[in-house]
Structure 1
Amino acid sequence: MARLKIADNLDGEPQTAEELAVKTHTNAPLLFRLLRALAGLGLVRADEEKRFHLTPLGRTMRTKGDGAFGDFMEMFLGDQFLPWTKYVDAIRTGKTQFDQLYGVPYYEHLKKNPDERGRFVNGLKQMTKIFNANITDYYDFTPFKHIVDIAGSDGTFLINILKNVPHARGTVFDEEPSIEAAKKNVLDYPNVKDRLDFVAGSFFTDPIPAGGDCYTMKSALDFEDELAIQILKNIRNKMKSGTKFLVIQTVVPDTDEFHIGKLFDQYLFMLTGGKERTKAEAEHVLRGTGFELNRIIPTTYPLWDILEATAV
């Protein structure tokens, strides 16, 4: 539904399968059968003239607009999909199947495949858009003068913070393609652009920008232990003692209750060999790299908690 842009084309414009097939370059009879199945899932509904209408649930499958998650869903249909056909092999061997199938780790694969990188970046942007808009409702950034966002992508996360903290300045740190996107993105925010700097580099090996009194990073603990420790040590090297470090990601509960983080943990292993961590596991990795976990701030967004740590 996302890749064929069915939701985008039906948004505000009910159509028959034949009309929609022209716009989506699909086979009309098979498209009708697909739409009939989607109606059973509550994503579309058909009227008496066999025109299909987008439902509120179906609108989430758009690629643009408020509440759209189509790009996020399409992210899973690119090169991320094939490793799941080897899930049993992963469980038996303990080896990440993406590396086995493509010959390189996922992030190296992104550097060589711009289409896949585009799906990944756009998917993450949609996934974090709602959370980004509300970040200052969950955490008070007003005590800080210089905020550094590590792996800051196109800068949206930090831009939103700076909009709400007008006395602070910020630095986006990420690899070159993301930095170029961030430089373009900030032009739409005249009250922020003069307070935002950009540094290109890899959080694995390159020096992290110094001088911040608050550092943020989404999903810093998503990596397997060796890489997570490498990243955190690299970050800690440029921090003064007492500097705040905010890790934004899910914390998996120790109980048997359903939690989306437990499923995302499986996804991370299949893709990168990474993992989601419990509070105890997060504390262990942070303490071993020079940080003390102060508190965990839950949010209403199921994949994001805020782990506040201090460099010691």
Structure 2
Amino acid sequence: MEPTHSHVGVIMDLAWGCFYAGALNAVMQLGIADRLATGPKTAEELASEASAHPLSLYRVLRVLASKGIFAEDAERRFHLTPAAQHLRTGGPFSMQGMVQLGTLPPTMEAALHLPHTVKTGQCAFEYRHGVAFFEYLSQHPPLGEVFDKAMASVSDADNRAVAEAYDFGAASRVVDVGGGLGGLLVEVLRIYPSVRGVLYDRPEVVGQPGRLAAAGLDERVDRIAGDLFTSVPEGADIYVLKRILHDWADDTCVAILKHCRRAMAAGARVLVVDALMPPGNTDHPTKALDLCMLTVVPGRERTEAEFEALFRAAGLKLARVIPTADSVVILEGIAA
């Protein structure tokens, strides 16, 4: 096949992706999507509101409009598009945290060292900064807050989808392993009034009021502090690992699953909630997410067969894969 101009465009988009990321970050910091919520405006009007340089803002908005983020009309006014809605503050499935996380210097600097990872297998973030990603977050609280915001924006979409896709009604006790502020348990307990939840996470996490208190569900939840790398609470009917395993290498994942296997009551289930890597050459966001994992943490996105192998190594059997209305699936494991 002969190269064409369309191939050049693809290469340019990939090679110059940092500029698109910077443009997204700029309009997010200026609150452009929020300012367009009341109707279309010119770059001059937006610049006046945001104390920005009109021509520079126009040039940024023009390129984003070419990608479907905002739309420019014949009067040079810019409109919100469905994609731009994700940049609004507090909007449905807001991606502000993800944009900020992806454009922070520590993250972008790590991406520049991806050739080192490809040559050696060492995580680029750890190579560049000298510490693992999660340790870096603990050392830099402002970045940790950005990370938490980004993960919350993803979890909000996941939580309802998981609670609606899986029948938790037969369980009396559900443990959310690494459950953060309890968003998933809120959705599960709302739908299933007979279920009791266990929020299991680090002491500094489970000690926060979080969403359970705001939803008035604290009385139906036991908060247990601990370390999922060493153990999980015993005797539950369902153990949920939502977007946990993709952060870690296979041996760590197997160890976590083994802790769940040892703790399971008779007939219990382990639910792994993660994205599923599709086969072939299809363009899919999970493949881009896997590149992020390769750069920043020791984890990876996995195929169904790779998850099945993890389950088998931990003494579990992959019973079924349940789709959800979101980008994740539920992989249900039972005792082998």
Give the TM-score of the pair, scaled to structure 1: 0.89
In structure 2, the residue matched to 1:127 is 154
Structure 1 unaligned regions, length at least 5: none
Contact 1:8 1:64 in 2 (8 A): no
User: After the TM superposition, which residues 71-220 of structure 1 pair with which residues of structure 2 at under 5 Å, given as runs?
Assistant: 71-78=97-104, 79-181=106-208, 183-190=209-216, 192-205=217-230, 207-220=231-244
Q: Structure 2 CA distance, aligned partners of 1:179 and 1:197?
A: 10
In structure 2, the residue matched to 1:292 is 317
Could you tell me how far 1:296 is from its partner in structure 2?
0.9
Q: Structure 2 CA distance, aligned partners of 1:210 and 1:24?
A: 54
Q: Residues 145-172 of structure 1: CA distance to partner in whole angstroms, max 9, x if unpaired? A: 1111011111111110110000111011
Matched, 1:60 2:86: yes
Matched, 1:5 2:31: yes
Contact 1:63 1:71 in 2 (8 A): no
**SS of corresponding position for 1:227:** helix
In structure 1, the residue matched to 2:22 is none
Contact 1:240 1:311 in 2 (8 A): no
Q: Structure 1 CA distance, aligned partners of 2:264 and 2:51?
A: 53
Contact 2:178 2:244 in 1 (8 A): no
CA RMSD of aligned residues (A): 2.2
Could you tell me how far 1:34 is from its partner in structure 2?
1.1
- Bigger mean CA deviation after superposition, 144-153 or 276-285: 276-285
- Bigger mean CA deviation after superposition, 267-276 or 16-25: 16-25
**SS of corresponding position for 2:326:** coil
Q: Residues 2-59 of structure 1: CA distance to partner in whole angstroms, max 9, x if unpaired? A: 3443212322254443443355453333112212222322322345664433223211
Q: Residues 211-239 of structure 1: CA distance to partner in whole angstroms, max 9, x if unpaired? A: 31111011333111222122222333322
Q: Structure 2 CA distance, aligned partners of 1:33 and 1:254?
A: 38
**SS of corresponding position for 2:155:** helix
Q: Structure 1 CA distance, aligned partners of 2:111 and 2:187?
A: 35
**SS of corresponding position for 1:226:** helix
The 1:48–1:188 alpha-carbon spacing in structure 2 relative to 1, beyond 3 Å, is same
Contact 1:46 1:53 in 2 (8 A): yes
Q: Structure 2 CA distance, aligned partners of 1:53 and 1:225?
A: 45
More helix by share: 2
The 1:42–1:81 alpha-carbon spacing in structure 2 relative to 1, beyond 3 Å, is same
Matched, 1:306 2:330: yes
The 1:228–1:64 alpha-carbon spacing in structure 2 relative to 1, beyond 3 Å, is same
Q: Residues 165-222 of structure 1: CA distance to partner in whole angstroms, max 9, x if unpaired? A: 00111011122343244x23222212x22101212233123x3222311110113331
- Bigger mean CA deviation after superposition, 136-145 or 75-84: 75-84
**SS of corresponding position for 2:150:** helix
Contact 2:162 2:330 in 1 (8 A): no
Could you tell me how far 1:142 is from its partner in structure 2?
0.4
Equivalent of 2:54 in 28, 32, 36: 28
Contact 1:175 1:202 in 2 (8 A): yes
Q: Structure 2 CA distance, aligned partners of 1:252 and 1:46?
A: 35
Contact 2:182 2:212 in 1 (8 A): yes
Contact 1:42 1:57 in 2 (8 A): yes
Give the TM-score of the pair, scaled to structure 2: 0.83
The 1:24–1:109 alpha-carbon spacing in structure 2 relative to 1, beyond 3 Å, is farther
Contact 1:2 1:71 in 2 (8 A): no
Q: Structure 1 CA distance, aligned partners of 2:227 and 2:35?
A: 39
